[in-house]
Structure 1
Amino acid sequence: MSTLSNSAVPAVDVPAVDIRSVGRIFPGRKGASVTALDNVSLTVAPGEFVSLIGPSGCGKSTLLRLIADLDVPTSGNIRVFGKPARQARIDQDYGIAFQQAGLLPWRTVTGNIELPLELHGVDRPGRRARAAELIELVGLTEFAGSYPDQLSGGMQQRVAIARSLAERPSLLLMDEPFGALDEMTRERMQNELVRICAETAAAVVFVTHSIPEAVFLSNRVVVMSPRPGRIRRVVPVGLGAMRDRGEDLREDAGFFRSLSTVRDLLHGDDGPAIGAPRGVETR
């Protein structure tokens, strides 16, 4: 049985994610096809937080799945820390969190966090030590022996995030992990994620429909067009380091400037329309 060890730290000049001219076409009925992504190129630096935002159906989740090697591009290529996406998956270079926590109901908080370590042959003492470390990181020490049905939705998502960090990935891929939460819980989870990212220094690619969430969390926000999904613009968010971001940031003038920029881009080049594009939250 193997013991737990830190992942190798990638060279600083090697991007966490390097997407080159990626397209994804899905075959349809009677010979028709759907172009989900068209000529998408994007680089994410180590330790950088990048959000993908756009109308429903613009290919955000498809792009995340391609990075995660849960699907393959029709054209172009993707490298994760200099490796093909498939090799990065095999090497456990990234962790994944989805909108639904996906916890196993018969396992405790500790047991759920230990699962990926167990599947990869980490011995019991190593699993327990790492799970305890992560449970403390997400603030659930007193719930280590609890089962998922004894936890709130926000607590379940904290467990899911802890599980995604179990193997010390250098990259987190997150697909609307807070989308099903109420607004107050969602903001608390955003604050938690900022703290966790500051402590782990992992790069993050984060899919969201919420403009305020994207701006609050990100170093850059990638605004995507309606299908076929293309990158309309990448918006730098100059709100400081993760460790310096707190609740008062949501009242900062820079926060509102970035919010307005992203919102206007989502409305299109012809200026703001009445109401936001379907599937995008402006709250």
Structure 2
Amino acid sequence: MTHALTDDAVTKDGCAIRASGVGRVFAGTKGHQVIALDDVHLEVAEGEFVSLIGPSGCGKSTLLRIVADLDHPTSGSLTVFGKSTHQARVDQDYGIAFQQAGLLPWRTVAANVGLPLEVHGVARSDRQTRVEELLELVGLTDFARSYPDQLSGGMQQRVAIARALAESPRLLLMDEPFGALDEITRERMQAELVRICSETGAAVLFVTHSIPEAVFLSDRVVVMTPRPGRIIEIVDSRPTAGHARDDEFRDAEEFFHTIARVRELLHGGPVAAARGVETR
């Protein structure tokens, strides 16, 4: 079984991500500037699952890329476990999974999962043990010697998630990892992700366009405005006592109530209008 986080891995204030007044401006055509993010304030706690949702172009992926040290804010600051994003990347504090699994077709499933460990010089025996743990975690033990083109889309995404977990990261960054999957496979993968996060204890920052997906997976859903991306509201989506994140929860009244709340914010209903958010 894969390793859960230990007490030694917890920051003093229990904060995995802290964004303070983050803005990102890109140079546009003809000298015009494109404001992707504006004055974003957000904290994600250790072990917390937080989703970012909003219309295309609202800066969701830009914010995730800033956390991953793949981009940098124009204004404000962002830390990961109290460190600079660069230091967190160097320390391998997070793993990343994107919409496309990005597996190397000439490597087996086991070799794809073990690639980060191989790159960082982990001994072969230790690498093999860790890969076996991860394949058990994502239910792919029997496919260790298979190649990516022999797997379904959902199975490929499970390999990508296992690879992202290879170095026991304290944080998972996920940019629409299930966006290309059919609905049945997508719901199955959501349930798998809930289980994996419960077993590993990792915090998650998750980008999605699906309201039901965000509500099902998350402790909190961050609702963002059209560009320039700002946070309208952060909706608590934790199941109440007596409910678990399973198929029964998808039929629960509170699940539909939270979906309606997020949809109202996204589509400029009374709540959003009261906050001065542009309506359509």
In the TM superposition, structure 1's runs of 4+ consecutive aligned residues that sit over 3 Å from their partners are 269-273
Q: CA deviation at 1:247?
A: 1.0
Q: How does 1:93-242 map to 2 (within 5 A)?
A: 93-239=93-239
**C-alpha displacement of 1:269:** 4.1
- One-letter code of the match for 1:190? Q
Contact persistence 2:11–2:82 (CA under 8 A)? no
- Counterparts of 1:232 and 1:239, CA distance in 2: 22
TM-score, scaled relative to structure 1: 0.91
Q: Provide the rounded CA distance (Å) in 2 between the counterparts of 1:127 and 1:268.
A: 50
Q: Equivalent residue of 1:247, what SS?
A: coil
- Segments of structure 2 that go 5 or more residues without pairing to the other structure are 274-280
What displacement does 1:240 show?
5.0
Kept in 2: contact 1:238–1:254 (CA 8 A): no
SS in 2 for 1:227: coil
Secondary structure of residue in 2 paired with 1:16 = strand
Aligned to 1:276: none
Corresponding residue number in structure 1 for 2:263: 263
Aligned to 2:250: 250
Amino acid at match of 2:42: L
Which ranges in structure 1 are unaligned for 5 or more consecutive residues? 274-283
Cα deviation 1:194-231 (Å, max 9, x = unaligned): 00011001000000000000000000000000000000
Structure 2 length-normalised TM: 0.92
> What's the offset of the Cα at 1:145?
0.4
1:14 Cα deviation after fit: 3.2
Tell me the SS of whatever aligns to 2:149. helix
- Counterpart-to-counterpart distance in 2, 1:60 and 1:131: 31
The percent identity for this pair of structures is 67
User: Offset at 1:63?
Assistant: 0.4
| Secondary structure at 2:106 match in 1 | coil
How far apart, in 2, do the equivalents of 1:63 and 1:174 lie? 12
Number of residue pairs matched by the alignment: 268
Q: Indicate the SS of the match to 2:76.
A: strand
SS across alignment from 2:234: strand
The equivalent of 1:38 in structure 2 is 38
Alpha-carbon distance, 1:238 to partner: 2.7
**1:239-264 Cα distance to aligned partner (Å, 9 max, x none):** 159x9321111001110110110000
